[in-house]
Amino acid sequence: MAKPKVAFYWCASCGGCEEAVIDLNEDILKVTDAVDIVLWPVALDFKKKDVEALSDGEIAVSFINGAVRLAEQEEWVNLLRQKSGLVVAVGSSAHLGGIPGLGNFWTRETLFQRAYIEVPSVENPEGILPQEKTDIGIGELTLPKFYDTVKTLDQTIPVDYYLPGCPPPPDLIMNAINAILTGQLPEKGAVLAPNKAQCDTCPLNETKPEKISIAGIKRPWQIKIDPEKCFLLQGLICLGPATRSGCGETCIRANMPCRGCFGPIDGVVDQGARGLSAIASLLGLEAEEKMPDEDVKKLISQIADPAGTFYRFSLPSSLLRRKRIS
Ligand code: SF4
Ligand code: SF4
């Protein structure tokens, strides 16, 4: 019997989700025994024409990581959607926009200005910026269009399932592959991870108070972190209350607060707003006996880069989506 065909593709990502597939270690042999990989740009030399030659729906499942930033990525994901029975958004960039989605705080022009002209390591006195077409005498070189706005995968094509994380841990990837191979999948649209918040599974949960009174908000490098105490109690922003569990509390067990890469639990439309509201209520900012405005302002001003902190992985999928372009 023919093995099911599987594709792996990457869009705007750092490559970490590709590494996570390699991190399956010897389990990757089970995967290659069970499926026929028809596309995997990071590891195998298949071409676009190979995918175009397949029938519609012939690929059983495409695992696509990364956000959609370029016209080329948009073309590829549309092609894979057409050729695939199932599409799984892998990792926080495909799922929510991820770190590349922070580019939505700027425009293409301001990003190019920074990356190709201003950064100290760049030597570009003529201010040359990437062009979509460049005549080189013997022909024309082309680059794909760079969009102003980063999109999540499901803002571009319909997505069947989501594998969260930056990157998703190997056990969740393997569970997803097994569920697909055995047809034991949940309802379409599901995130393939537990529908519980990090705080519910966190080993420090017992020390998390109902309300906290802290003198100031700190960044991890500013204090010696006590590994036995809830990070919030130590004045560190931990997005555990607003983040889905399933990563094995990787950061927390390494003595670092959760930064939110698994995204929100079901039903939460804006992870950043949920994080802000969870922390505001813990700090008593929503209590009847309100903190004096001056103290609130002082505390809030101590949060470095609040937008980047609360929307680190989820800006394109949030209600904000991007900074307004005037
Ligand atoms: S806020 Fe963070 S450290 Fe505290 S219980 Fe929740 S996940 Fe754990
Ligand atoms: S602890 Fe938070 S930031 Fe770290 S891997 Fe888990 S969900 Fe992601």
pLDDT band at 287 (very low <50, low <70, confident <90, very high): low
Residue 261, ligand 2, Cβ within 6 A: yes
CA of residue 37 to ligand 2 center, whole Å:
29
Residue 243, ligand 2, Cβ within 6 A: yes
pLDDT of residue 284: 62
pLDDT band at 286 (very low <50, low <70, confident <90, very high): low
- Give residue 104's identity as a one-letter amino acid code: N
CA gyration radius, the chain: 22
- For the stretch 40-67, pLDDT in tens is 999 999 999 999 999 999 999 999 999 9
- For the stretch 147-200, pLDDT in tens is 999 999 999 999 999 999 999 999 999 999 999 989 999 999 999 999 999 999
Calculate ∠ Cα 259-261-265, nearest 5°.
105
CA dihedral for 315, 318, 322, 323, sign (positive or negative):
negative
pLDDT of residue 282: 73
Candidates 243, 253, 274: which one to mutate for ligand 2, based on the most atoms within 8 Å of Cβ?
Answer: 243
Of residues 24 and 294, more confidence is placed in 24
pLDDT of residue 289: 61
pLDDT of residue 278: 86
pLDDT of residue 290: 64
Whole-angstrom distance, CA of residue 220 vs CA of residue 236: 7
pLDDT band at 70 (very low <50, low <70, confident <90, very high): very high
Beta strands in 154-228 (DSSP E): 161-163
List, edge to edge, every strand of the sheet that includes 5-10: 36-39, 5-10, 59-65, 84-90, 161-163
| Eight-state DSSP code of residue 48 | H
- For the stretch 95-147, pLDDT in tens is 999 999 999 999 999 999 999 999 999 999 999 999 999 999 999 999 999 99
CA of residue 261 to ligand 1 center, whole Å:
14
Q: Where are the alpha helices (DSSP H) in 84-234?
A: 91-96, 108-113, 170-181, 198-201
Contact present, 16 and 167 (Cβ < 8 Å)? yes
Stated as kind and residue range, the H or E segment containing 293 is helix 293-301
pLDDT band at 211 (very low <50, low <70, confident <90, very high): confident
pLDDT band at 209 (very low <50, low <70, confident <90, very high): confident
- For the stretch 261-271, pLDDT in tens is 999 999 999 99
| Residue 288, pLDDT above cutoff 60 | no
- Give residue 231's identity as a one-letter amino acid code: F
pLDDT of residue 302: 87
pLDDT of residue 285: 58
Average pLDDT value for the chain? 93
Candidates 196, 198, 247: which one to mutate for ligand 1, based on the most atoms within 8 Å of Cβ?
Answer: 198
Q: Name the residue with the closest Cα to ligand 1, atom 4.
A: 230
Question: In the structure encoding, which two tokens stand for residue 267, read together?
Answer: 């039903």
* pTM for the whole structure: 0.93
Q: Residues lining ligand 1, CB < 6 A? A: 198-199, 202, 204-205, 208, 230-232, 238, 240-241, 252, 257-258
Question: In the structure encoding, which two tokens stand for residue 145, read together?
Answer: 């269009």
Percent of the chain clearing pLDDT 70 (strictly above): 97
Mean pLDDT of 227-248: 95
Residue 251, ligand 2, Cβ within 6 A: yes
CA of residue 100 to ligand 2 center, whole Å:
17
Start-to-end CA span in the chain (Å): 57
My answer on whether omega of the bond before 41 falls inside 30° of 0, hence cis, is no
Candidates 204, 238, 261: which one to mutate for ligand 2, based on the most atoms within 8 Å of Cβ?
Answer: 261
Other beta carbons within 10 angstroms of residue 107's beta carbon come to: 16
Stated as kind and residue range, the H or E segment containing 33 is helix 27-34
Mean pLDDT of 187-215: 91
pLDDT band at 298 (very low <50, low <70, confident <90, very high): confident
